């Protein structure tokens, strides 16, 4: 049961929403799908006076943009998956959304942008958006700005959101590429322990120009350009060398009750290789 006397707001437009956020600062939070916020309020982990529900603002659409797609702040995983077709690199979003567990309740309720704003290291979406070089669109009182995903995720559970700002959506480019997604979980109910989003050139065996973004292995998504690792033909070295290189890039690994940091360090290279294999159809 939510312990505080909570005021529920469902503003009709963004101006009103940002005004409320600005007024109440840290005593207010944006309610997207509520899959994280509501349990945290119920458990007493968060203490708020106001929640601002976005449902009446009209941010629930997936739309085509020049060269890509825009995902509104209220778009759920189920809504995203219904928005066919996914072209080019945006297929990564589809692959990640299809693997979201928790049943229809979570897939129909949880939102892409909610996951972005929450920035849980052990989740799918942040790293996928970094892999896609997505842009995060923010609206504050009297201003708008757009931030590259890679710059938006500052730390675990910490993003570049300023006073009164909220996410209105993300845009991703549908550049032509092959993609592969690999998620390591301990069991079906587990948070992701390590994810890898591979984006590789359209054809051939060469990985020149390929990137892999690792998720859940560190506090922020880690986007790796494979260039330093590749031989003259764009091929990877032996698996152990790949793993050692990835481990060296990792810095401080993420650590939680499901898996210690040293485990994440050991599997980071593995998920990277497997995502690349999937991208290359191997």
Tell whether residue 248 is a contact of another protein (CB under 8 A). Answer: no
Among 13, 25, 27, 43, binds another protein (CB under 8 A): 43
**Residue 62, φ and ψ in degrees, nearest 5:** -105, 125
User: Angle at the Cα of 117 (from 112 to 122), degrees rounded to 5?
Assistant: 75
The least distance separating another protein from the CB of residue 84, rounded to whole angstroms, comes to 25
Neighbours of 156 (CB within 10 A): 14
Binding mask 190-219 for another protein (x = CB under 8 A): xx-x--------------------------
Binding mask 158-197 for another protein (x = CB under 8 A): --------------------------x-xxxxxx-x----
Tell whether residue 3 is a contact of another protein (CB under 8 A). Answer: yes
Tell whether residue 266 is a contact of another protein (CB under 8 A). Answer: yes
User: Angle at the Cα of 26 (from 24 to 30), degrees rounded to 5?
Assistant: 80
The least distance separating another protein from the CB of residue 202, rounded to whole angstroms, comes to 28
Long-range CB pairs of 139-148 (<8 Å, 24+ gap) are 139/14, 139/18, 139/165, 139/166, 139/168, 140/18, 140/22, 140/164, 140/165, 140/166, 141/15, 141/18, 141/19, 141/22, 144/168
The least distance separating another protein from the CB of residue 78, rounded to whole angstroms, comes to 19
Residue list 95-124, contact with another protein (CB under 8 A): 101
Given the rule CB under 8 A, which of 39-47, 132-140, 141-149, 153-161 is the region that contacts another protein? 39-47
Please list, residue by residue across 234-244, b when 16 or more beta carbons sit within 10 angstroms of its beta carbon and e when fewer do.
bebeeeeebbe
Residue ranges that bind another protein, judged by CB under 8 A: 1-5, 39, 43-44, 101, 184, 186-191, 193, 239-240, 243, 256-260, 262-263, 266-267, 269-270
């Amino acid at each position: 049961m939510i312990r505080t006397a909570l005021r529920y707001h469902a503003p009709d437009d963004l101006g009103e929403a940002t005004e409320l956020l600005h007024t109440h600062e840290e005593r207010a939070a944006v309610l997207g799908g509520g899959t994280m916020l509501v349990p945290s309020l119920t458990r007493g982990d968060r203490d708020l006076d106001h929640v601002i529900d976005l449902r009446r603002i009209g941010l629930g659409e997936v739309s085509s943009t020049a060269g890509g797609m825009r995902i509104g702040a209220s778009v759920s995983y189920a809504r995203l998956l219904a928005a066919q077709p996914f072209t080019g690199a945006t297929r990564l979003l589809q692959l990640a959304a299809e693997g979201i567990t928790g049943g229809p309740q979570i897939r129909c309720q949880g939102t892409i942008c909610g996951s972005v704003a929450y920035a849980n290291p052990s989740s799918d979406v942040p790293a996928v958006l970094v892999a896609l070089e997505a842009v995060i669109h923010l609206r504050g009182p009297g201003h708008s700005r757009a931030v590259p995903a890679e710059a938006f995720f500052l730390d675990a559970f910490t993003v570049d959101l300023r006073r009164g700002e909220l996410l209105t959506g993300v845009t991703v480019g549908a550049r032509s590429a092959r993609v592969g997604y690999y998620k390591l979980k301990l069991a079906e109910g587990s948070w992701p322990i390590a994810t890898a989003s591979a984006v590789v050139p359209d054809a051939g065996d060469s990985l020149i120009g390929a990137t892999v973004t690792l998720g859940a292995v560190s506090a922020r998504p880690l986007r790796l350009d494979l260039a330093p690792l590749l031989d003259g033909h764009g091929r990877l070295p032996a698996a152990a060398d790949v793993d050692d290189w990835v481990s060296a890039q990792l810095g401080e690994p993420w650590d939680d009750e499901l898996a210690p940091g040293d485990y994440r360090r050991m599997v980071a290279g593995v998920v990277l290789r497997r995502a690349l294999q999937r991208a290359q159809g191997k």
